[in-house]
Amino acid sequence: MVQTLKMKGKTVDEAVDSALKVLKVTKDKVSINVLVEPESGVLGVFGGKMAEVEISVIENEADMGKRVLQEILDRMGFLTLIDLVGQEVDSISLEIKGEDMGRIIGKEGATLDALQIITGNILGRKFGKRMRVYIEAQGYRRKRQQRIEQTALEAAERAIAENKPIKLEPMTPADRRMAHLALQGNSNVDTHSEGELVERRVVVSPKGLNPQSINE
């Protein structure tokens, strides 16, 4: 939840300072809403009003991303903790730690992909820009990337040795991108994608072979 605190003081500044100490943040990290202005009482004593303010901690993309993902997983009934493992311009990387990782990851990472999309969309609406969210769980994506890169390298070796195109298994757009990138610096092969929807796959061909001639 967003941290919000109400605090009273003899003056607005005193109330704000007290709230900042409790929240352990600096003034530039909060929004301040003055609920009650202070009023002096009769003879400066009787009937006066203390100032009251409401202080809310301003969330950045990373803080909100952690909170949003945590709330989604809590509602799904998972016992987890979310760590921020990286942040760049318009992108954040989060890691899920906890139990029942198999269900959180889903078949071929489908649930993890859905969590990325949902979290990214929420952040995008909040901050008015496209946000890329990368979510890891129990090293699943790192291991998957390693497998895809190894598969792509082996396909390249076969394509060169047999002088023919090698088709990989159908992949998600993210996985296809990893396969293309794995061979981007290989001057002996070309890669392209073919097929529709869930059957779309990467094809690795010897350099110079016309992709349009592939009918296999």
Q: Partners of 92 in the beta sheet? A: 87, 133
Q: Which has the higher per-residue pLDDT, 215 or 193?
A: 193
Q: How far is CA 195 from the centre of its chain?
A: 29
pLDDT at 152: 96
Q: How many CA atoms lie within 13 A of 149 on its CB side?
A: 12
Which pLDDT belongs to residue 95?
96
pLDDT, one tens digit per residue, over 74-113 is: 999 999 999 999 998 889 999 999 988 999 999 888 999 9
Place 167 in a pLDDT band, splitting at 50, 70 and 90: very high
Task: Tell me the C-alpha distance between 183 and 141, whole Å.
Answer: 19
DSSP 210: -
Residue 213 has pLDDT above 50, yes or no: no
Residue 216 has pLDDT above 50, yes or no: no
For helices 61-75 and 110-127, angle between their N-to-C axes, nearest 10 degrees = 130
Q: Which residues of 1-29 are buried (b: 16+ CB within 10 A; e: fewer)?
A: eeeeeebbbeebebbbebbbeebeeeeee
Q: Is residue 173 very low, low, confident or very high in pLDDT (cuts 50, 70, 90)? A: confident
φ and ψ of 65, to 5 deg: -60, -45
pLDDT at 121 over 50: yes
Mean per-residue pLDDT over the chain, rounded: 89
Q: Given this model, what pLDDT does residue 123 score?
A: 94
Note whether 20 and 56 are within 8 A (CB).
no
- Is the pLDDT at 45 greater than 90? The verdict is no
**For helices 140-162 and 173-182, angle between their N-to-C axes, nearest 10 degrees:** 50
Q: Does 210 score more than 70 pLDDT?
A: no
| Long-range contacts of the stretch 79-87 (C-beta < 8 A, 24+) | 80/104, 85/136, 86/134, 87/61, 87/62
Average pLDDT over residues 117-123: 95
Q: Residue 24: its pLDDT value, please?
A: 87
The average pLDDT across 121-136 equals 92
Name the β-bridge partners of 25: none
CA dist 55 → 10, 19, 37, 122, 127 (Å): 16, 7, 15, 23, 20
Sorting pLDDT into bands at 50, 70 and 90, what band is 2?
low
Q: Domains (ranges, CATH) in the chain?
A: 4-57 (no CATH), 61-138 (3.30.300.20), 143-213 (3.30.1370.50)
Helices and strands in the chain: count of H runs, count of E runs: 6, 9
